[in-house]
A and B are shown apart, each in its own frame.
Chain A
Amino acid sequence: MSSKKILIIDDEPDVNTYLEAVLKSNGYDTYSISEVENAMDKVKEIHPKLICLDIMMPKETGISFYSKLRKDKKFSKIPVIIISGVVESEKFNIHSFVSDKTIPAPEYYMEKPINVNKFIKKVKQLTN
């Protein structure tokens, strides 16, 4: 399988370590950062194929980064999996967090703790 870059953004270092381990053992190139405020720079630097994103982070929320990403002409099409403990999977609706209705829903939402098999299946689907 050709290696593909995935960016993980979570303020919990253990979550980053976990997701990196899962993705690396499935042949992906991973990059993780804990400070969401630097995430846009990282996206510009590495041009990831996929982004795994947390919501509740101290300085800036994942939602605010997500809105910025979707408004960015160059990177708006990067698929995003939101991985968070904020709400249950079936209740997640991006527009209960973002009033701007032009912002599309993320490609996928996963509730913490994740189901690894489901996660990998979705990652493969979104990066192919």
Chain B
Amino acid sequence: MKNLEAYKKHAGNEKIHSRILNELYQQIPDNVAVIDRNFNIVDANNNFEDHFGKWQNKKCYAVYKKLDEPCDNCPTKDVFNKGTPVICDAIGVDKIGKKTHYIAHSFPIKSKNGKEIEYAMELTRTVTETDRWQQEYHILFDRVPCFITVIGEDFRIVRANEAFRNNFGDMVGHHCFEVYKRRKTKCRNCPAEKTFKDGKVHHSQKTGIGKKGQNINYAVSTSALMRGNNSVAHVIEISKDITALKQLEHKVIESERLGAVGQTVAGLAHSIKNILMGLEGGKYIVSLGLAKDDKAMINQGWEMLERNFEKTTSLVKDFLSFSKGRLPELKMVNPGDLVNEIIDLYKDIAAQSGINLKSEIDDKIKSAPLDSAGIHTCLTNLVSNAIDACLMGEHKGNEVIIRVFEERGQLIFEVKDNGSGLDNEIKKKIFTTFFTTKGGGGTGLGLLTTRKIVQEHGGKIMVDSQKGKGSKFRIIFPRKRLMTLYKETKE
């Protein structure tokens, strides 16, 4: 008390008062400037100079904003005109030329007689950092590709971000279980409830219902917002939308299940059932034709019967050839001769279909140890596929070229066509058992058998194909492997 009395006594003394004011003027954490009616800065504190640079003999607009003329919305002008304090938000330029965001408080300083306004005092506080943080926080909260909600102790949503509002609706104030899951009571194993209890982070995977009634799968993490006394005030739920991932997972499972059908005995049964269906169909249509005495119908049914008998034969042949587990019978043969055999076999069929079938045989090609019958089967399959692809294609002037050549120690057979080509989906499936693009025309075993024979020779088969442009199949045999295999089989 004694001190306060002493201070009051001193403060009454004008000199001390002025010292205090001066100290305040310099120490205040704001930038202070005194401006006259003509926008001249007549005084400023050290903070001001540190932030905006030299001010002596300069206009306020030149210092605050580095401009040549007064600003459009000048707070100083307002102070002089209205005689009342003005607060404004402005962007200026600091002494190193960097943009600075500040809030200015301007107020009038009257002349000694108290009648007119002599100066305007301007206190500016830069808000650049805080403002940026706030903006960053808002952007992060709203734009992050997750659903974020802040939940109160009563399980009501206090705040929600943009992603959440877009998917679940603007539901602040509602219970979280109502909004996420359209439930009337709390969910079982609620991660938010656990966090409220122990203050720890909890994770869970849930399925909710969006505002359009759509299912939304999400992975959620709950974190605690603590009070000063270490109790949990709010829980923040951050959820990642995993709906697309779940759908993809389902699709993979589905396609794998169907893929498995193609690779097992079930696949063979499936092929047989389809043929039986065709035979039953043929029989039905022939009977119907006979009953109606309709010759065209009888013919249609008969053709169906023939086609499906033919398919039975092909299936059995292909299946037998596929199931033969044996080492190839390698003999030194001229690869060019094998190609010529295939040309002889298919030239008539190709010509009848308007397809130009030709061969390109490298003159210098040497003999190679190959299983002639096996390679014959491979080339037959590839050429017959190529002809079918030409027939399925839409353009005219089709050709199928069989080439045989050497490249980097490898013997390569190539069958190229400009037929219908294969799209990416089909390319993935062509070496799968019983896969056929030919509807009723194929058994789906041709390429599989080809691959098997090629692999038995230590080689590989590759396909390069473009939908609508044609396909190129290559059978590649490394010479060294062929020779190793040849020596082994001779021993």
Contact = CB atoms under 8 A, between A and B. Distances in A.
Contacts of A11: 439-440
Contact of A34 (B261, B308, B439): B439
Interface in B403-436: 423, 425-426, 429, 435-436
Given A98-B250, A114-B280, 16 more contacts: A13-B439, A13-B440, A17-B285, A18-B285, A19-B281, A21-B297, A58-B429, A63-B254, A85-B277, A86-B266, A100-B250, A111-B273, A112-B273, A112-B276, A114-B277, A116-B284
A101 to B, nearest CB: 10
A58 B435 contact: yes
Nearest to A87: B266
A105 interface: no
Contacts of A17: 281, 285, 300, 304
Interface string A108-128: 000111101000000000000
Interface of B: 215, 249-250, 253-255, 257-258, 261-262, 266, 269-274, 276-282, 284-285, 288, 297, 300, 304, 307-308, 423, 425-426, 429, 435-437, 439-440
A96 interface: yes
A99 B254 contact: yes
Contact of A59 (B279, B280, B425): B425
Given A85-B274, A100-B250, A113-B276, A56 B304 contact: no
Given A17-B300, A56-B270, A98 B254 contact: yes
16 contacts: A11-B440, A12-B277, A14-B440, A15-B277, A17-B304, A55-B258, A56-B262, A58-B435, A58-B439, A61-B258, A85-B269, A96-B257, A100-B250, A112-B276, A112-B277, A113-B277
Task: Tell me if A's interface is mostly helix, strand, loop or mixed.
Answer: loop
Contacts of A111: 273
Interface residues of A, number: 34
B278 A99 contact: no
Contacts of A58: 426, 429, 435-437, 439
A43 interface: no
Nearest to B300: A17
Given A18-B280, A100-B250, A85 B307 contact: no
Given A15-B281, A21-B288, A98-B254, A113 B273 contact: yes
Nearest to B247: A100
A21 B284 contact: yes
Interface of A: 11-15, 17-19, 21-22, 25, 34, 55-56, 58-59, 61, 63-64, 84-87, 96-100, 102, 111-114, 116
Contacts of A12: 274, 277-278, 439-440
Which are the 8 A-B pairs with shortest beta-carbon distances? A18-B281, A85-B273, A99-B250, A14-B278, A112-B273, A112-B277, A85-B270, A113-B277
Contacts of A86: 258, 261, 266, 270
Nearest to A12: B440
Contacts of A22: 284
> Residue among B257, B258, B300, B439 with the most chain A CB within 10 A?
B439
Given A58-B435, A86-B270, A97 B280 contact: no
Contacts of B278: 12, 14-15, 18
Given A61-B258, A86-B261, A99-B254, A14 B308 contact: yes
Contacts of B288: 21, 25
